[in-house]
Amino acid sequence: MRKLFGTDGVRGLANAEPMTPETMLRLALAAGRHFTRGTHRHRVVIGKDTRLSGYMIEPALTAGFVAVGMDVLLLGPVPTPGVAMLTRSLRADLGVMISASHNPYGDNGVKLFGPDGFKLSDEIEAAIESHMDEAPALAPTAELGRARRLDDSEGRYIEFVKATFPKGLRLEGLKIVVDCANGAAYKVAPAVLWELGADVIPIARAPDGFNINAKCGATHPETLQSAVVAHNAHLGIALDGDADRLIMVDEHGHVIDGDQLMAMITRGFAREGRLQGGGLVATIMSNLGLERYIEGLGLKLARTKVGDRYVIERMRGDGINVGGEQSGHIILSDFATTGDGLLAALQILAETLQTQRPMSEAAHLFDTYPQLLKNVRFKKGAADPLRAAPVAQAIAAGEKALGREGRVVIRPSGTEPVIRVMAEGQDKSLVTRVVDDICGAIEQATRSA
């Protein structure tokens, strides 16, 4: 069982457990022990976003890896997909990204990548946790690792991303606002778009250690919406703090979520004969409208539990090369091993150029079904309210009421005592009633426990 790792690595409040220097040192000692195999010089790459606490966590991890004999390459601020790419490119045994993604600056986290550039499986994370309870396998004095900075990590990532854009296409004539979330892509995102010919208006690109994701980025698109309209831009691109997710805005300032973006990429890949596996992988949170649209193309939509690494596992298992989440994590396995907001944006821009339609038309491929999500909190350590008979009855009644044109998703949080209740269907009032009835049953069960 994993206790330290959640759905996307280790995460928490900086300088509180588990995000303390001591625990980060122990994590590095344990991860280094697990990935030290063979007689070659072992190597780990470490990237980070722009949070103040990165200055604390980076040296703690570095000390642990050096202590077990691994050489460390420090990348500085670079997007999460850049770490995944450079892990493979530099033949590293392990990749580490220090980031809490879309969370505010006070949080931080650690994501780990194997030598193949993919996020670690549950089994490997559990093995690393078990090593944390063991005595560290310290290297002899003469075999300590060394640490150095890689000065051109940003340039390497810029060239990698640009190479995924179709040859012969340019972004000339497009005015694009890009919201960098004061995060890891604050330099690379405007550079890529400008080098491909766009008229770029960057916003939220002045990180100070505290302002990452603060009223900006993919989780706060209102700033981008206003900027697109104010500058009369053709579209807007919003990334999150570590640039692995993407939300876009059309010329009218309307938000385009991950479901519409995935539909657009899937359609384009299918038209060009590039789609593999006969469909798309999404999570249980993606809208039914997306599923119906994909089926209308004669393709299939496979669903996984929430978490982009579960999407990737299903993609690899089924041989599918397009997948992602409604929140904007989009994985294109022809190019990358993890979600990459900037790379996905370039594919959307290429599709928009080729259709010769404004973003408001090109990216509106289906009408979304009314969808409602509510959270019900219960006392930590209390009995699981989902085991209560009245709750099961309420869920069954909701599923029956919605029928084939709707669905209910009940998802316990993996990090806090919360039950997430989501329903969607064609009738908004019915969806609301179903969610309220289930939430009421859960609340009653928690009071009775």
The set of catalytic residues is 101
- Bridge partners of 436? none
In b/e form, how buried is each residue of 44-60, taking b as 16+ CB within 10 angstroms? bbbbbbbbebbebbbbb
Q: How many residues does the chain have?
A: 449
φ and ψ at residue 3, rounded to 5 degrees: -110, -30
Single-letter code of the amino acid located at 108: N
Q: Could you tell me which of 82, 102, 8, 119 has the C-alpha nearest to residue 343?
A: 82
Q: Could you tell me which of 258, 310, 287 has the C-alpha nearest to residue 301?
A: 287
Q: Quote the CA–CA distance of 11 and 97 in Å, as a whole number.
A: 12
Q: Quote the CA–CA distance of 447 and 218 in Å, as a whole number.
A: 37
Q: Quote the CA–CA distance of 307 and 313 in Å, as a whole number.
A: 10
Helix (H) or strand (E) holding 123: helix 122-131
Helix (H) or strand (E) holding 95: strand 94-98
Edge-to-edge strand ranges of the sheet holding 279-283? 300-304, 279-283, 322-324, 330-332
Q: Which two tokens stand for residue 209?
A: 């250690």
β-pairing, 371-377 with 418-425? antiparallel
